[in-house]
Amino acid sequence: MGLAFAKGVLGLAILGSALLIVGPQAMSWQTFWILFFSGVLGIGVADTLFFKALRELSSHSVVQLMLLGQVATIAMAVFFLGEVLAWTEWVGIFLVMLGVTVVLTGPAEGHAPAASPRGIIFGLISVLAMAVSITIAKDALGGLDTLTATLIRIAGGVISLFLLAPVFYLGKGNWLTPLLSDCGLALKFCAIAVFVTFGGFFLSLFAVKHTDLAIANTLLSTEPLFVLFIMATFFREVPNARRLFGSLIGVAGVGFISGNMLL
């Protein structure tokens, strides 16, 4: 929760400064509250539980759960937004789910934690909250600039984290202590937060606004290709054969989904 809150506060400062330069855009109260609630779900709930899952699962298992979240978003786009999928997309959905199953039912690799039931539950709730969050935000983005929309979503997340913190962390000390007591960690975290704010929150919402939700989420699903490379290169966390096979199945599923959409 401390990480999610700190990332949100820094994101608000960055986006607020940018918005002062370009000027805010007028919107209806309905649009505001939809985006605000989207931030509560997508940041306040999803981010907090994502960090909890990350503590109890390996990076590869978390990535597969994120893939499952992309599939959930596609399903919501079909049922609630009326988007139509071809048979190749359904094959892709099956492969993604199969990849998730292969990874989460495998043994722990090296020092990586086993896929604990609690970690899986945290991860599942996180990805479902994110899927609902981005689905309800889609329609609200129509007549609003992405910068303003991103600021409102992050504000919803930060305020919800601030209100929920005393409930979940009452009597457990200051949950920002790790960042406040380690200058090096704080600087690294700030650099990551800046990158995530514009490279993650802003650009992902920009993609959702200007393309079909299913297409945008499918492109975001290519994350495993980058995560596997980064973890192997910088953290020497090389997946065993089972996890690598499961990841490849999931990525193949994303390929089936995206290939048809981009034709």
Q: What is the pLDDT of residue 243?
A: 75
| Alpha carbon separation from 176 to 1, 33, 52, 172, 187 (Å, rounded) | 9, 28, 15, 11, 14
How confident is the model over 203-217, as a mean pLDDT?
84
Q: What is the pLDDT of residue 108?
A: 52
Q: Is a pLDDT exceeding 70 seen at residue 260?
A: no
**12 occurs within a structural domain:** yes
User: Is pLDDT larger for residue 194 or for residue 63?
Assistant: 194
Using DSSP's 3-state secondary structure scheme, residue 64 falls into helix
**228 occurs within a structural domain:** no
φ, ψ dihedrals at 145, nearest 5°: -70, 150
**190 occurs within a structural domain:** yes
Per-residue pLDDT band for 263 (boundaries 50, 70, 90) equals: low
* Mean of pLDDT over the chain: 79
Q: What is the pLDDT of residue 151?
A: 92
Q: Are 135 and 76 in contact (CB under 8 A)?
A: yes
- Beta carbons within 8 Å of 182's beta carbon, 6+ residues apart: none
Number of domains in the chain: 1
Q: Can you give the pTM of this predicted structure?
A: 0.75
**69 occurs within a structural domain:** yes
Per-residue pLDDT band for 123 (boundaries 50, 70, 90) equals: confident
The structure tokens 């370009």 sit at 22
How confident is the model over 227-238, as a mean pLDDT?
78
Helix ranges (H only) for the chain are 2-22, 29-39, 46-56, 59-80, 87-104, 117-140, 146-169, 177-181, 183-196, 203-210, 213-220, 223-234, 241-262
**147 occurs within a structural domain:** yes
Q: Are 241 and 103 in contact (CB under 8 A)?
A: no
Q: What is the pLDDT of residue 36?
A: 95
Q: What is the pLDDT of residue 60?
A: 65
Q: Is a pLDDT exceeding 60 seen at residue 149?
A: yes
Residue 153 and residue 68: Cα distance in Å, rounded? Answer: 22
User: Is pLDDT larger for residue 142 or for residue 179?
Assistant: 142
Using DSSP's 3-state secondary structure scheme, residue 161 falls into helix
Residue range 60-117, pLDDT digits in tens: 677 677 777 877 888 888 888 888 778 887 888 788 878 777 776 665 555 555 667 8
Domain that holds residue 32: 2-87+113-210
The structure tokens 């899927």 sit at 131
Per-residue pLDDT band for 7 (boundaries 50, 70, 90) equals: confident
Q: What is the pLDDT of residue 156?
A: 92
**51 occurs within a structural domain:** yes
Of 64, 25, 59, 48, give the one whose Cα is nearest residue 129: 48
Residue 6 identity (one-letter amino acid):
A
Percent of the chain scored above 70 by pLDDT? Answer: 82
User: Is pLDDT larger for residue 183 or for residue 59?
Assistant: 183
Identify the weakest region by mean pLDDT among 134-143, 174-183, 224-233.
174-183
Residue 147 and residue 126: Cα distance in Å, rounded? Answer: 24
Buried-state track 120-136, b at ≥16 Cβ within 10 A, e below 16: bebbbbbbbbbbbbbbb
**237 occurs within a structural domain:** no
Identify the weakest region by mean pLDDT among 4-18, 169-183, 204-218.
169-183
**105 occurs within a structural domain:** no
The structure tokens 């940018």 sit at 18
